[in-house]
């Protein structure tokens, strides 16, 4: 693949906005990215909102034992477009899109982030249960993160295709978002899956503050659990999810 084939574009505007057709494409891409590994969020149970992967079908019965829920698409296009619009309306939001110039400028990747005024707002915005909200707020406060607000590295994804993944774009997305956090002189936080590519990327430039500690296996580059839990805190809502933080630079 030529170096010029994939084009990274930062969407301008405050807030950043997309034409309706482009927003629809982004919503479809979002659903496609998170349907596969390591997220497996293709369908969702109507009863308890548990996600399931591509081995399930919308309209089917929930595969959990004794659950009487039915499955639907995890990220319907219209609802997902509304969610993305809401994200981009948040304070200090920034959005990047990755396109394939040799395929009618096909949208193949995305990344965005925004700021929270304090750790309480972050905890309430990203965690559902009172216990996790209190735990996350306390954890960040003890580490001196977010006293003056923080910038959240929100969503980032690349289409599951060897033409696009494994080319270093996750690292570039990560660097661009940290640059924005620095420009606002804000601490940065990143939630991601312990088995995802963004875990490898985040551990290079940020400090893991919660969740299962992983190591990169020599040779294969696979992520393997060490058996340790960072700061003794697991995400009770999603045990595979971790949290990274980075203090603002002086």
Residue with tokens 């954890």: 139
Q: Are residues 193 and 162 in the same domain?
A: yes
Domain boundary among 67, 91, 115: 91
pLDDT at 17: 82
Q: From 49, 81, 97, select the one nearest 238 (Cα to Cα).
A: 49
Domain boundary among 91, 109, 125: 91
Q: Are residues 50 and 155 in the same domain?
A: no
DSSP string over the chain: --TTTEEEEEEPBTTB---HHHHHHHHHHHHHHHHSTTT--SEEETTT--EE-TTS-TTSBP-STT---BEEESS-HHHHHHHHHHHHTSTT-EEEEEEETTTTTEEEEEEEEEEESSHHHHHHHH--SHHHHHHHHHHHHHTT-SBTBEEEEEEEEE-SSTTTTTSSHHHHHHHHHHHHHHHTT-EEEEEEETTSHHHHHHHHHSEEEEEEEEEEPTTT--EEEEEEEETT---TT-TTEEEEEEPPP-
Q: Are residues 50 and 139 in the same domain?
A: no
Q: Are residues 151 and 32 in the same domain?
A: no
Domain boundary among 29, 57, 91: 91
Q: Are residues 39 and 136 in the same domain?
A: no
Q: From 240, 6, 16, 215, select the one nearest 108 (Cα to Cα).
A: 6
* Digit-coded pLDDT (tens) for 165-196: 888 999 999 999 999 999 999 999 999 999 88
* Digit-coded pLDDT (tens) for 77-110: 999 999 999 999 999 999 999 999 998 889 999 9
Q: Are residues 85 and 100 in the same domain?
A: no
> Does residue 220 carry a pLDDT above 80?
no
Q: Are residues 67 and 144 in the same domain?
A: no
- What's the rounded Cα separation, in Å, for the pair 161 and 230? 32
Are 151 and 112 in contact, with CB atoms under 8 Å apart?
no
pLDDT at 219: 75
**What CATH number is associated with residue 174?**
3.40.630
Are 231 and 237 in contact, with CB atoms under 8 Å apart?
no
Number of domains the chain is built from? 2
Q: Are residues 148 and 163 in the same domain?
A: yes
Full residue range of the structural domain in which residue 140 is found:
1-16+93-250
Q: Are residues 159 and 209 in the same domain?
A: yes
* Digit-coded pLDDT (tens) for 113-144: 999 999 999 999 999 999 999 999 999 999 99
Q: Are residues 227 and 108 in the same domain?
A: yes
Q: Are residues 143 and 55 in the same domain?
A: no
């Amino acid at each position: 693949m030529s170096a010029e084939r994939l084009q990274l574009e930062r969407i301008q505007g405050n807030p950043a906005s997309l034409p309706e057709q482009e927003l629809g494409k982004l919503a479809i891409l979002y659903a496609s990215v998170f349907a596969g590994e390591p997220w497996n969020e293709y369908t969702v149970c109507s009863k308890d909102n548990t996600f399931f992967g591509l081995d399930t079908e919308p309209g089917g019965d929930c595969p959990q034992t004794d659950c009487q829920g039915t499955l639907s698409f995890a990220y319907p296009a219209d609802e997902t477009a509304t969610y993305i619009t809401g994200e981009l309306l948040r304070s200090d939001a920034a959005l990047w899109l990755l396109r394939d110039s040799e395929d009618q400028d096909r949208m193949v990747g995305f990344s965005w982030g925004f700021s929270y005024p304090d750790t309480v707002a972050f905890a309430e915005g990203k965690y559902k249960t009172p216990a996790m909200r209190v735990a996350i707020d306390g954890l960040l406060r003890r580490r001196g993160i977010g006293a003056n607000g923080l910038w959240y590295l929100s969503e980032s994804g690349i289409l599951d295709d060897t033409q696009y993944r494994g080319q270093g774009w996750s690292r570039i997305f990560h660097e661009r978002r940290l640059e924005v956090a620095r420009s606002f002189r804000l601490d940065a936080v990143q939630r991601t899956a312990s088995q995802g590519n963004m875990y490898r990327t985040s551990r290079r430039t940020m400090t893991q503050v919660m969740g299962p500690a992983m190591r990169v296996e020599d040779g294969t580059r696979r992520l393997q659990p060490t058996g340790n839990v960072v700061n003794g805190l697991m995400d009770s809502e999603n045990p595979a999810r971790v949290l990274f933080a980075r203090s603002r630079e002086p």
